[in-house]
Structure 1
Amino acid sequence: MTKQFYKLSKTFMFSVTLAALLSAGSQLSAQKSNVSDAINKQFACYLEGENNGEVLRNFAAFFLSTEEFQQVISYAGQLKSLGEKNNNTRYRAYANAYLGQAYLMTNQNDIAKMYLNQALRQAKSIENDSILCSVYNGLGLFASNVESDYNTAISYFFNGIEAAKRCSHKRLHNILLCNISGVYYLKGDSTGLKYAQECYNFGHSQNDPFLALWGAMNSARMYIVMKKYEEAFKYIKEAEFILQKNQYNDQTNVFTLYGEILVALGDNTEAEKYYKEALKNIGHAQTSSIANIYLSYGKLLAEQKRYSEAVPLFEKGIKVSEDGHNQIFIKQLFAALSESYEKMQRFDKSLEYFKIYHTQTSRDFNEESERSINQLRIQFDTQRKENEAEQARLEVLNKTRKMQFLIIILVMAVGVAIYLYIIYVNKNRLYRRIIIRNKEAIKREDDLKNQLKNFVTECPNVAEKYSVSSLKEDKLENLFQKIEFIMHEEKLYHDPALTKEKIADKLNTNRTYLSQVINERTGLSVPHYINTFRINEAVRKLSDSEDDTPLKALAFDLGFNSISTFYKVFQASVGMTPSLYRKKVQEISS
């Protein structure tokens, strides 16, 4: 009895000690390693091999707050095993939530999403709002950082805020507010200022330097969006003071913001000093912060026509983003890299990176458009089901009230009409944006091709140098370049009977090798690859308002065997039929 009481007393004392450390977690960054050592010693001393779920949970939470993610994975893994052993859903849910966020912060995104989804299901099943607000925070970060789906991220964060309110978790409530302001910054929307300010004020009222720091940084970002640089400067100076006082490890973020503000104020010399300081600290920075410093510093160098220095920074930013599966700045990096190569008269490289930028932009645009339309459909279906339920209830309760029934039917009809009209308007806007984007892309591509052609004509010696360089590439790349050449220049795709055997014969290779090359370089099968050229030419012709070639003639000219096949492939690729595309082009041009 005495031994049991002694063990329970030690465990209780340890939990109290750990709780005190957790409550001060945001103020412990300067002594992080010392605290970690102390806690580990206490853990060994007090537990002596016992499995205590609450202690493991507190450990995982503490190390998550201090950004020691390998420790989080270790303790959360033990907590998960304990939960499975004892069939404790609460422990499993906490463990999955911590594992999901730790793996997300270490760029292991697929594993992170799996754990976060498990935690979400488990937290909902036991109705635990404390876990829910943490899980929604992780899912919001995943949506914004990995998927670039900012609207979904904001929705997750607001769901987290509702859960935080229900369980009175004020600190996480304000972290979620700060994350919302960060997403609004990425959208270029100053709406996020009020959320950043609320986090900033709460941090000061609670003497919480972590919340005060992020509230100040995101307030600075919002004022940059609003072009109120003096206000932004005030907040970033305070953020730097808090950072140095508490020895936090996010100097890269602060110094990058300093540089951006100084560039906006016209002090490029001082801005470059801060950018260089930011680069010195990237060892402790997150992927998005590293990509951002490469982008911001590279832009400054490009503005000063120091393209040979800017290009490596953009390339490093792209590599960091791709390695970390982080999509936040990657499109801007590709666009900046394309523009820099254009200024250097490397039109071949400029065109290469512009195509990647255009592909990613089109993909994201189409995904966002599809999400918007699906959201309208969901709203419509929800309203329809609610109306159907209401109608059924009224039929049972008010059989004699025919007038009310007719009014409800009328309201339903009006509601359906409104939703159909909204979908119609949104589709028209979508079609208009698709056409404008395609026209701009065609013009941009033509300009780059003309510049490259003129460059080759005017500087044959330099062009020869590039040609010699390309001959040293492997056989796969050489074959792919030959395929691209005959498709672009000889327009083989105009042949309706074109097959991979014909292409292989023309290039003196075999069809298996040809299919392998095309699939590895484009991710497409040979028929799909051929059809991309046909559709691209169709878009070019249909984007010309003066071209009145009949669609049936156009289909056969491009190599399609039937008008129905042309319509099907064009619809799948562009998002509307050829006839509708031509109609919208005429409307825009008139």
Structure 2
Amino acid sequence: MRRCLYLICIIIAAVLIQAALRGVPYAAADSLDVLRERWRSLTVEGRYEELIHSTLEVYNKSMATHDRYAQECAGIHLAQAYMPSGKYDSVYYYLDEVEPGITAGNDAGLKIIMNNVKAILAVQIEMNYAEAFKFFLEALDISREAGLDYQERLLLCNIAHLYGVRKDTAGYSYARDAYVLCKESHDNYTLPSATVLLSEMYSLREQYDSAMKYADEVMYIALSKHDSSYEQIAWQLAGSIYEAQGDYGQARRSYRKALDMNDRIDDYSARIGIYLTYGDFLREAGDLDEARTMFETGLRLASERRNIEAVGGFLFGLSDVCARTGDSVAAYEYYRQYDVMQRQEAESEREFNRLYVRFTSIQHQKEISERELELMKANHRLLVGGVLLFVLIVILAVVFYLYKKKNRMYRQLVENHYRMSAAIEHEKEAHKEVRAERCEPASTGSLYDRIEHLMRTGKVYREKDLSLDRLAAMLDSNRSYVSKEINTCSGMSFYNYINHYRIEEAVSVLQDTENNTPLKALCEDLGFTSISVFYRSFQKETGVPPARYREEMRRIKGKGREE
């Protein structure tokens, strides 16, 4: 799927370059028009080295002549041209050079390209899908406001791709809209990407006949255009659909076709993608040695190209394969690296990681037991049956124990949190005294108190678009001073400070057993951008998911009324 994102954004560069250059003073407008056509051809044909050479020449000349617009135009396309090869240092360099000018300017086309580059970096380097989504939405708004229909279709594809990466079928509507608009406008540039995404969305929805229909359409487009990249994508789509349907023979053949095309593909993300997809297939099929080869090859390539998103998948796969083949030392090391990445990505997944380690250990012990029992099977059939039954009982008992332990843990956390509610006001008073000592005399009772007043009385934290700039404007101050006051007086960052008030109100609502506000509505009321962010923030603060917190509070208060 990462290949689609690159191809979509490359197409954006080709389509936007003419719009980006039109209507802006340039000393050599005629020659730049010729270069524009040249860049478009090179982009469509995937001849990135030639594209870099051409745009770099324009970039250097524009610097010598102090032509900022030409520099921005060439620079943003240079940044995008370096992305398929994974040269992110160059991407960041040119992006940093031209971003201020593009941001301050009025050229919608360049702004859209810039937001696409930043979105890809957010996914590939930072694994920050929320940030990428923000950039894509900003670009979509710009395209619609400027009436740039081509860009709107491309950005719909980008948003659908993000949903696909997260295995979220909510991206179906974006993929469908992009596909329909491409058909209606005869947009042959964007149609292949929209078709790929629509096939993936149908597969996620388990509508495999429709998924295969669009995968076949991708293959038809690829063969008619002699496009190796989309041909590889079509084979990979077919493999995933066959695998989901249980036709593992056809799936293996399709994946092998895609893998064999790696030497014909310049896009390193495409190579990385097939190593990960085919490796996962082999792992599930039990071909552990070949799966390990795929994962190790892909991990080396992903590490070299700084494709952090893919590295996590390879580490997870290698940890599982090594555990199942008895290489416990390697399994531990791969899992340790994977666990570090997971904790960096989302602290709320720590409990899942611990359960995964336990599960892997149980599975490993079970496999050892089964191998030992196989040696004794001929003479001890009855014993084997008894041992297997015993192992099953042990596993069920362990699972039941973990389930009960988790329930007790949640219950204790809620009870402790409820008991501590009475002491909260006292802690707040103590916090005020500490703040009075820590804050500067000029700010105590003035700016920070006004911030607190806005939070407690005005409840401005409920605003979804509340930012440091907006809060500073409300206070007739500046963002730096407001940020310093919050950091100094509360000991928290701005976003943690806002979330603290949101969670505080959420706890109050969930402690009220008469309040039946749905969690989704509560999330909206409190200003959270999504239900998942609300769940993570609430559990981070209380240790318990909000639904479970409400359930336990009703049990506690119901028990109190009975007594």
With normalisation by structure 2, the TM-score equals 0.59
Task: Give SS of 2:314's match.
Answer: helix
Shift of 1:330: 1.9
State the match for 1:220 in structure 2.
199
Shift of 1:199: 1.9
Q: Deviations over 1:479-498 (max 9, x none)?
A: xxxxxxxxxxxxxxxxxxxx
- Structure with the bigger RCO (C-alpha within 8 Å, sep 6+) is 2
Question: Is the 2:62–2:71 Cα contact (8 Å) retained in structure 1?
Answer: yes
51 and 77 in structure 1: CA distance in 2 versus 1, 3 angstrom threshold: farther
The residue type paired with residue 189 of structure 2 is F
In structure 2, which of residues 215, 220, 235 is the aligned counterpart of residue 236 of structure 1? 215
In structure 2, which of residues 468, 480, 499 is the aligned counterpart of residue 381 of structure 1? 468
Map 1:367-516 → 2, pairs under 5 A: 379=466, 381-389=468-476, 420-424=500-504, 429-430=536-537, 432=539
The residue type paired with residue 384 of structure 1 is L
State the match for 1:257 in structure 2.
237
CA distance in 2, matches of 1:428, 1:274: 40
Shift of 1:307: 0.9
The residue type paired with residue 339 of structure 1 is D
Q: Deviations over 1:473-526 (max 9, x none)?
A: xxxxxxxxxxxxxxxxxxxxxxxxxxxxxxxxxxxxxxxxxxxxxxxxxxxxxx
State the match for 1:266 in structure 2.
246
Map 1:244-393 → 2, pairs under 5 A: 244-250=223-229, 251-283=231-263, 284=265, 286-366=267-347, 379=466, 381-389=468-476
Q: Deviations over 1:71-113 (max 9, x none)?
A: 2211111221232233222111101111000111221102102
CA distance in 2, matches of 1:417, 1:338: 38
State the match for 1:531 in structure 2.
none
Q: Deviations over 1:18-50 (max 9, x none)?
A: xxxx99x79xxxxxxxxxxxxxxxxxxxxxx99
CA distance in 2, matches of 1:166, 1:75: 31
Shift of 1:336: 1.4
Q: Deviations over 1:169-208 (max 9, x none)?
A: 3222211221111111111212221221222122222323
62 and 428 in structure 1: CA distance in 2 versus 1, 3 angstrom threshold: closer
68 and 368 in structure 1: CA distance in 2 versus 1, 3 angstrom threshold: farther
CA distance in 1, matches of 2:278, 2:103: 44
State the match for 2:111 in structure 1.
132
Shift of 1:152: 0.9
Question: Is the 2:348–2:539 Cα contact (8 Å) retained in structure 1?
Answer: no
Shift of 1:211: 1.4
CA distance in 2, matches of 1:117, 1:170: 28
State the match for 2:102 in structure 1.
123
State the match for 2:356 in structure 1.
none
CA distance in 1, matches of 2:266, 2:543: 39
Q: Deviations over 1:90-140 (max 9, x none)?
A: 111101111000111221102102212333222233311111111111111
CA distance in 2, matches of 1:297, 1:366: 29
Could you tell me which runs of 5 or more consecutive residues in structure 1 were left unpaired when the two chains were aligned. 1-21, 27-48, 391-415, 438-586
In structure 2, which of residues 52, 73, 77 is the aligned counterpart of residue 73 of structure 1? 52
State the match for 2:165 in structure 1.
186
CA distance in 1, matches of 2:463, 2:274: 38
Question: Is the 1:209–1:242 Cα contact (8 Å) retained in structure 2?
Answer: no
State the match for 2:481 in structure 1.
none
94 and 428 in structure 1: CA distance in 2 versus 1, 3 angstrom threshold: closer
Question: Is the 1:288–1:328 Cα contact (8 Å) retained in structure 2?
Answer: no
CA distance in 2, matches of 1:198, 1:68: 30
The residue type paired with residue 98 of structure 1 is H
With normalisation by structure 1, the TM-score equals 0.56
In structure 2, which of residues 31, 41, 44 is the aligned counterpart of residue 52 of structure 1? 31
CA distance in 1, matches of 2:498, 2:304: 45
Task: Give SS of 1:345's match.
Answer: coil
Question: Is the 2:462–2:502 Cα contact (8 Å) retained in structure 1?
Answer: no
- Number of corresponding residues: 365
Task: Give SS of 1:329's match.
Answer: helix
In structure 2, which of residues 69, 86, 92 is the aligned counterpart of residue 90 of structure 1? 69
CA distance in 1, matches of 2:235, 2:541: 38
CA distance in 2, matches of 1:155, 1:337: 33
Q: Could you say which structure has the larger radius of gyration?
A: 1
